[in-house]
Amino acid sequence: MPPHDPTLTACLQPTGPLRPTFCNVPEWAQVTLYVAGLLAIGIFAYGIYRHWRVWMAGQPGAPARNTGRWGERAGLVARYVLGQSKTLERRYAGLFHTGILWGFILLFIGTALATIDWDVFRLFFATRLLGGPFYLGYEAVLDTAGLVFTVGLLLAIWRRYVTAPHHVLGAWDFVIWSLVVVNVTGFVVEGLRLAIAPVAWGGYSWVGQGLANLVFAFGGAEFIQGPARSLHLWLWLLHAAAAPRRRWCSSRRSRSPTRCTWSRCRPTPSSRTSSPSEPGPRSSRSTSRTPSSSACRGSAS
C-alpha cells in the first residue's frame, strides 16, 4: 500500500482497532456526503411535517382510550412496536418484518454512533468512541444486523413479487429495493475496504471479511490496488445515494384520487359488474379481480 496516498491513511489502524472513517474516500466525496446528508435531513423533516399537517387538519378530540394511562400505553409500544407481536401473528410476514425492523434499528444506532465518533468525539474531545474492544463488538453486531436485514428484505421481496397473494398487491414501491441496495453495497464496500487495507481483527466484521476473502481468492494485488479501489469509492457513493425514499402519492399531477397508489389497483368501471344491485355470476367477479392485480404490477414503470 503506498503510504503517501492521503486517502489511504484513513484506512490504517496502527494503534489497534479503531474505526477507519473515510477510508479510500477523497475530500470531494466527503463534502458531497455532508451536503447530501443535510439535504436528506431537510427532506425527511419536511416529510414528517406534511404528515403532521395531515393529522392536525382533523377535528379535535380523541377517544378516552387514547389518552392518559401512560405506563400502560408505553407497555403497548414495547409489545407491538419493539416486540412486533401484532405482525408476528402471521409467521412468515412477521418474521421478515421483525428482521427488517431490528436490522434497521441496529444499523441506525450504528450509523449514529459512527457520526458521534467522528464528528463529536474526534472534533470536540480529541478522542474516539469506536476503538478497542467496543469497536470490535460494534462491528460484529452491525454485520449480523445487516445480514438479518438483508435476509428479511429478500423474504419480503419473494412474498411481494413472487408468491404475491392478492392482498399484498398495492403500490410498486422503491423503498424495498433501495434498502437492498444499501445493505448489499454496505457489505461489498466493507469487504473491499478489508481487501485494500487488511487488518488482523477483520474477522469481527465477519460478513465483510468473508467478502474480502473472496476478493483475495479471485483478484491479484494489481486488482486490489487498482480497480478495487475505484469500485470501493463508487459503491460507497451509491451506498449513500440509495438511501430510501417514498412517494407521497403515486402522482401529484392529478388531483383525482384514482391516480394514487392504491386506487390505481381498483377494478376499472367496466369490470365492476358485480355490485350488489346487479349481481354478476361468480366467474365475472374473479375476472374483475385478476386484471386489477395485473394492472398493479403493470404500473411498476
Nine-digit cell at 204? 469481527
Q: Any idea of the CA torsion for 234, 236, 241, 246, to the nearest 10 degrees? A: 130
Nine-digit cell at 249? 402519492
- Residue 18, classed as helix, strand or coil, is strand
Per CB under 8 A, the list member of 2, 14, 60, 71 interacting with another protein is 60
**Contact region with another protein (CB under 8 A), list: 30-38, 113-121, 124-132, 247-255:** 247-255
d(CA 240, CA 24): 15
260 is a site residue for another protein (CB under 8 A): yes
Please give the size of the binding site for another protein, defined by CB under 8 A: 45
Taking residues 114 to 153 in sequence order and writing x for each that binds another protein by CB under 8 A, - otherwise, the string is ----------------------------------------
Per CB under 8 A, the list member of 69, 73, 79, 166 interacting with another protein is 166
128 in Cβ contact with 167 (< 8 Å):
no
Which residue carries 355490485 as its cell?
275
155 is a site residue for another protein (CB under 8 A): no
Per CB under 8 A, the list member of 3, 28, 59, 200 interacting with another protein is 59
Task: Say how many CA atoms lie within 13 Å of 189 toward its Cβ.
Answer: 22
79 is a site residue for another protein (CB under 8 A): no
51 is a site residue for another protein (CB under 8 A): yes
d(CA 186, CA 156): 19
d(CA 260, CA 249): 5
Which parts of this chain interact with another protein (CB under 8 A)? 50-51, 53-63, 66, 80, 86-87, 89-90, 93, 165-171, 248-249, 252, 255, 257, 260-263, 266, 272, 274-277, 279, 282, 285
